[in-house]
Chain A
C-alpha cells in the first residue's frame, strides 16, 4: 500500500494540523510517499510567508521532515508516465472547490498517484468524483 500525500496534506503535517497529526501516527515510513512537485509547492509557500521568524521556523522544520523522507527514498520524481497522465488531466475540468479548479501543480501530484497506483491522502474534494480510478484517503 502506497500513500502519496497531497501537497496540502504535506503542509498540514508540517504545520501541526491535528487531523493530519493523528492520521500519521501509526503509519509506516515505507508506506508514505511525497511527490517532488509537492516539495516545490511547499517551498514556494514557505517563501511567500511574510513573517521572517515563522518562515525560518517552517524552513528548518521542513528540512528535517525531508531528511527522513529522503533517507527512505520516499520522494517521487515526476516522470514520463506521470507526464502522460498529467496531459490528460489538464484537459479535464477538475474542481478543487465550488469556485476554483485544481491547479496544474496539484494535477501533477494526482498524475503521480494515478501512475503509481497510490492512494492519495487528501481532504475530500469535488474532483475526486471525476476520477474513479483515483483512490483517496482523507486524514
Chain B
C-alpha cells in the first residue's frame, strides 16, 4: 500500500458527504503510479492490472463521473478502511515501507557518564587546532 495514499486518507476531510467520491477519486489519481485506463484497456490487460493491485498499486478504470471503478486488493482495502476509521497504525506504515524487525542478538544501548563529555578545551590549544576540530 502506498504510504502517501494512507496518510492522505487519514487527513481526508470533506464537509459535504456528496463530495467524498470526487475527492477520493482526485486523491487516488494524484497518488497512483499509472493514469486511469479505459474499460477496453482494463479488459485487455486485466492480468497485469490484477497483479499490480496485489502488489499494492491500485488502478482506476474510467467511467462517467461517479461511475469509475477501482481495482484494489482486499488487503489494501482493509488498510484504507482502518486508516479512515482510526488513523494509520504504525504497523501499516511498516508494511508500506517494507520494514521487518531483524532477528538476532539483542543490542543494548550503552549507558554511563563518560569523562569525554566535559566541554573543557586545554588552555594550550591554539585557535587553529580548534577550527580543525570543528571541521572534523
A interface, CB within 8 angstroms of B: 7-8, 11-17, 21, 24-30, 32, 41, 45-46, 49, 54, 57-58, 61, 64-65, 67-69, 71-72, 96-97, 100-104, 106
Identify the interface centre among A25, A49, A64: most chain B CB within 10 Å of its CB: A64
Q: Which residues of B contact A (CB under 8 A)?
A: 3, 7, 10, 86-94, 96-114, 117
- Per the bound structure, the CA–CA distance linking A17 and B104 in Å amounts to 10
B99 and A103 within 8 A (CB): no
Given contacts A15-B106, A68-B96, A101-B113, contact A29 B90 (CB under 8 A): yes
Give the top 6 A-B pairs by smallest Cβ distance, nearest first: A16-B101, A68-B93, A64-B99, A96-B111, A100-B112, A67-B97
**Are the CB atoms of B90 and A100 closer together than 8 Å?**
no
Bound: A71/B108 CA distance, A: 27
Chain A residues within an 8 Å CB radius of B97: 64-65, 67-68, 71
In the complex, which of the residues A25, A46, A69, A103 contacts B110, with contact meaning CB atoms closer than 8 Å? A103
User: In the assembled complex, which residues on chain B have CB atoms less than 8 Å from the CB atom of A54?
Assistant: 102, 104-105
Total A-B contacts with CB atoms under 8 angstroms apart: 110
Q: Specify the chain A residue showing the minimal Cβ separation from B104.
A: A54
Residues of A within 8 A of B106 (CB): 12, 15, 17
Decide: A104 and B107 in contact? CB cutoff 8 A.
no
Inside 8 A of B93's CB, which chain A residues have their CB? 29, 68-69, 71-72
Q: Are A11 and B107 in contact (CB under 8 A)?
A: yes
Known: A68-B97, A72-B7. A57 touches B89 (CB 8 A): no
A28 touches B88 (CB 8 A): yes
